[in-house]
Amino acid sequence: MTIIAADYEKTDMGTIQIAPEVIEVIAGLATVEVEGVAGMSGGFVNGITELLGRKNFAKGIKVNVGQREAAIDVSIVMEFGHRIPEVAGKIQQNVKLAIESMTGLSVVEVNVHIHDVQFKTAEKPVEEESAALRVK
């Protein structure tokens, strides 16, 4: 992750800087909106952050930012039953559109890394759950 140079955007009132963490959050939110994404795939630090109860919207996102361009790496967990190329393409489009429209940066690439596939688990009927909670 690199920092945007101080002369990114100059106005009459001063300069505007966008922290790389902001771009990571935008990319993360744009990614989880796509159907077929079960979740983000983060590393050890992200796991600790979630154990402490903090929601990390930048989980699984790496950003390289220049003065006018950005390159994004997205690591996800797919839902079983969805086509990987279609989901990855939608992620690329959604992330690019979100970052470009919100920041004005040009997104040169969005790399999607699939780390796992999540299978749907069969939900227990409510009757079975309530019977298991009764004391005999």
Write out the chain's pLDDT in tens, 136 residues. 544 444 457 778 888 888 999 999 999 999 999 999 998 887 644 444 444 455 677 889 999 998 889 999 999 999 999 999 999 999 999 999 999 999 999 999 999 999 999 998 766 565 555 556 666 5
The pTM assigned to this predicted structure is: 0.75
Residue 48 CB neighbours (<10 A)? 12
Single-letter amino acid code for the residue at 110: V
Residues 90/129, Cβ–Cβ less than 8 Å: no
Residues 74/89, Cβ–Cβ less than 8 Å: no
List, in sequence order, every beta strand (DSSP E) within the chain: 9-11, 14-16, 37-40, 61-65, 69-79, 106-118
Dihedral angle sign, alpha carbons of residues 56, 57, 59, 65: negative
- 115 φ, ψ (degrees, to nearest 5): -100, -20
